[in-house]
Amino acid sequence: MFKSFIFCAFLVIWTITEVKSESSRKDFIDGFRKDNSRYWLISCTLSGCSFAFSSCMNCYGERGCKSCISLSKPECSVCADDIYNKDDLETIDGNEYLICDSGDPIQSKVCHLYCRGQYAQSGQCVRVNNLPICKCSSDSGSFTTDSTVSTQTTPPAYSTTTLQSTSSPNIPSIYFNGTVKQNISISDWYQRILPLPNGDLVRGSRRNLIEIWDLQKGIIKRNLTSVYSIPNVFGLLSNGDLVAGYGNNKTLLVWDLKITNGEPLKRTIQTNEEIWCLTVLKYDDLAICQSWNSYDDYDIMIRDSQNGLIKNKLVGHLSTVYQIIELSNGNLVSCSDDKTVKVWNISNGAVIKSITHVMSVRSIAFLPNGNLVSGLEDGTINIWNLETNQLIKNLIGHTNSICYNNCLHILANGDLLSASHDKTMQVWNPIDGTVKFKSPLQKDRFLQLAVLPSGNFISSSRYELIVWN
């Protein structure tokens, strides 16, 4: 009785949908209407599961996804069972598909959850032979369904243009000719650095203070002191405030650098993260990544820099994340010790793409054409086409790891600069893969690269800060 009510409701819903869609779909619709596939559409809609879906976009495996949906909203357990019911699949050319109309937000979510249940990274409603089906993208980005599907020309998840990394207009074109402009010896070994727009340099310490350097003079002009120790990450908010992360204390402090006579500490944000890296996003949100920790938590946390509240959580990395880049469309790209580079949908926190490398990925950058550059633990540099997920080039030259604090950069002329633990920097032609320049062997490993407002690079190692022409 209930089932037949459902079926009628289904017909009604479908008929309404059908009126809006084009007639070319008609035969197909008739075909699948008969066997009552997409029963989930009714059971999920009736129990209002859309919100539960949204909170489960990162589930994994059928069991995990079912329990996530049911836990988020107990009424949705029938719907969860229906999504993974093999009888609801449609057979097209001998392959089974979940039917999926991209115009319907619920269907798009169900498709994604269905694919997560099949251990795929994501799922999208697409058209194949003009039929609306759900297509799953696997970890490597290749499609898990058969060749009939993968040969279809479907729109990529994003276009090359949306992949341009954020290069705000006030970031200068950057130059490098390999000669030393300035050489500053440091005593407190390597601590992370952040160039400021006025030419000063922020540098951490192993104690409880942050050093503000006058780079022109090569001296520390000011210390910012707090009760927390070992400031290890830095970011700059749009109003010029400095955000400093004290990883061991899981604390962020916001400093007003304009206050030179008085208390510059503006606010304290307690987090749960062993902070390893920090990227200030558009609108001043903070993307925080975590280093190795005893509770195995490598989620990227998106926090509001005003009140510290968690706005989003990007779940998927299995080890330390080394760098996060924000794309112009607001999506994020991260690289990790878990050997992957992941592209994240900032709207729903889902992984859009995950590129698996042969080794830990230490630094990333984007070429002007949208290709991803990733620097690995063994010193090789990969260049990937993210639309086809193809490894285009493997640049071999460094004999030790690419360093993991922002150590790949694209120069104004399009060349690629890399810094490595092998104590050299190299300039590459990223198109043909040739080495155009190799720096003399330094005293010690390169540990970080940063760009000064002048467009010059500053490199940091255990013994020295070098400003390069």
Residues engaged in binding ligand NAG (CB under 6 A):
157-158, 177, 179-180, 183, 185, 209, 220-223, 227-229, 248-249, 345, 347-348, 352, 442-443, 464, 466, 469
CB of 380 to ligand NAG, least distance (A): 25
Question: Is 347 or 388 the residue whose CB approaches ligand NAG more closely?
Answer: 347
Give the Å distances, CA to CA, from 136 to 17, 133, 149, 162.
Answer: 24, 10, 10, 21
Q: Which residues fall within 8 angstroms of residue 347, CB to CB, at 6 or more apart?
A: 330
Q: Given 3-state DSSP classes, what are the helix, strand and coil percentages for the chain, each rounded to the nearest 5?
A: 20, 35, 45
- The radius of gyration computed from the CA coordinates of the chain, to the nearest angstrom, equals 25
Give the Å distances, CA to CA, from 223 to 226, 236, 264.
Answer: 10, 17, 11
CB of 345 to ligand NAG, least distance (A): 4
First to last CA, the chain: 80
Question: Is 210 or 408 the residue whose CB approaches ligand NAG more closely?
Answer: 210
Assess contact for 135 and 126: CB atoms under 8 A: yes
CB of 231 to ligand NAG, least distance (A): 11
CB of 230 to ligand NAG, least distance (A): 6
315 alpha-carbon distance from chain centroid = 10
Give the Å distances, CA to CA, from 69 to 233, 299, 313, 376.
Answer: 37, 20, 18, 37
**The token pair that represents 246 in the structure block:** 């004290």
CB of 227 to ligand NAG, least distance (A): 4
Question: Is 76 or 163 the residue whose CB approaches ligand NAG more closely?
Answer: 163
CB of 419 to ligand NAG, least distance (A): 12
198 alpha-carbon distance from chain centroid = 29
Question: Is 64 or 455 the residue whose CB approaches ligand NAG more closely?
Answer: 455
CB of 175 to ligand NAG, least distance (A): 7
Question: Is 380 or 439 the residue whose CB approaches ligand NAG more closely?
Answer: 439
Question: Is 209 or 278 the residue whose CB approaches ligand NAG more closely?
Answer: 209
Name the burial class of residue 349, with classes exposed (0-12), middle (13-18) and buried (19+) by CB atoms within 10 angstroms of its CB: buried
